[in-house]
Amino acid sequence: MKWPEKVTIKEVGPRDGLQNEKKIIPSETKIGWIDSLSETGLSYIEVTSFVNPKWIPQLADSLKVAEGIHRKPGVTYAALVPNLKGLEGALHAKMDEIAVFMSASEGHNRKNINKSIHDTYPVLQETVNLALQEGKKVRGYLSTVFGCPYEGKVPAAQVLSICERLFEMGIEELSLGDTIGIANPRQVEEILEQCLKTFKGARFALHFHDTRGMALANILKALEMGFDTFDSALGGLGGCPYAPGASGNVATDDLVHMLEKMGIDTGINQDKLLDAGYFLQQKMQSKLPSHQMAVYNAAKA
């Protein structure tokens, strides 16, 4: 078996990780944390989301955070946007890359975006068009690919149809999300095989949540199939406000540990990564749930 020699890890902790935190975290803490992440060797950090603050109060300071961070050359700083208004904020903040999002299931899409899948397409299309006109790369997120909290199993044909529409819009990469952490390696293989057959040469990333402790196993299966880009959040932060019971993302530190032990290059300094996690723990006054942070904390004790 030939494993990828190098893997790209996209850190989504500052956005996807923090959005589910109930206690509002000061902007200065977010800025300090992102700056520490920038020193770890990460090449991609999703900084925030320009959404209506009433939906996600934790990210109401998106502009302040985006403008306050120290941008390190070679690091892509991205932001999630739901529509043209969100894109306006991201452009004002001079984000490097824009991400748009929707769900593979009607139930979750209506909860998350308050629109049907059909009605979401034109909103995303005009957002992608303007972002591309402004010279920005655009990434897409597709949630509930492997299962929906409201509808259960999502038909593969439905997933592929939405993928096709998103690629037609002009997105550069599509991140397939296991929003409620329900996927298993066999299911991952089945869906990814169909994606590879249907979209030859397309760029995919995988976004696994670790609700049932299956995220690393699912990543291992994706690696076997040649996929080399994964989203993660330092310390295992995260969850989805519209997916009851969903816990955090796969932990960046656990993922880096596994890959480096396998001889797969991530370009990330594990010591600096854990230091960045410790910084956030101290500021939040609570321990992060990842395995590597548990080891780190025990050594500090």
* Active centre residues (catalytic): 240
CA distance 249 to 233: 6
142 to 117, 145, 206, 298: CA distances (angstroms): 11, 7, 10, 37
CA distance 63 to 90: 8
Chain centre to alpha carbon of residue 23: 21
List 229's β-bridge partners, or say none.
8
- Residue 131: HSE in the Cβ half-sphere, 13 Å Cα cutoff: 34
- Cα dihedral 87→163→186→232 (10° resolution): -10
92 to 25, 118, 144: CA distances (angstroms): 23, 29, 31
Q: Which residue has 């120290």 as its token pair?
A: 70
Nearest to 276 by CA among 250, 251, 259, 301: 251
CA distance 104 to 83: 18
Helix (H) or strand (E) holding 113: helix 106-113
CA distance 299 to 211: 26
Length, in residues, of the chain = 301
Helix (H) or strand (E) holding 89: helix 84-92
- Cα dihedral 51→55→58→59 (10° resolution): 0
